[in-house]
Amino acid sequence: MKELTSREIQVLKKSWKDMAPRLHEMTACFYNNLYSIDRALVPSFSDQLAMYKQADKALYSIGFLIASLENLLIANAGIRKIFSEYGATHKKIKLSDSSKVIKAFILAAKSTLRDEWSNETSICWYRLFTILLELLNNRMTYTRPEHLRI
């Protein structure tokens, strides 16, 4: 799979800027979508506070990913570290059905951003998560862009 284009990076950064202030709303929508798609993928939360903590983790994780778009090697290493800090293991990630998780995220983002969402935005987020999953699963070798090589 090819790298993200400069246009895709621009769209992702713009949509993240619009999405980040509404992340608690989006997280609730994400879990509602995921519950509708596959209840087994939804962790059980004992209270509403747990949902807000999850949104804060998502804010940090996705924010880091967006800040690292120009160098997916850094993003890959950082996301692995973030997952390990949250107690997620590679085995747990592989057991989940990633296409369902991506679909739930995209539907939540679309619902949250409403008029600011477009087909292009949806495709860019899908491509980003697909590339990230391939990197996390070591199915893709990523070469550093020429302008970032030392």
Domain ranges of the chain: 6-148
pLDDT in tens, 42-74: 765 555 566 667 767 777 778 878 887 877 666
How far apart are alpha carbons 99 and 93 in whole angstroms? 12
How far apart are alpha carbons 51 and 66 in whole angstroms? 22
Tell me if the pTM is above 0.85.
no
| Among the listed residues 82, 33, 64, the one whose alpha carbon sits nearest the alpha carbon of residue 128 | 64
Residue 41: CB atoms within 10 Å: 16
pLDDT in tens, 4-33: 899 999 999 999 999 989 988 888 888 888
Q: What torsion, rounded to 10 degrees, do the Cα atoms 8, 11, 16, 17 define?
A: 140
Give the homologous superfamily in CATH for domain 6-148.
Answer: Globins (1.10.490.10)
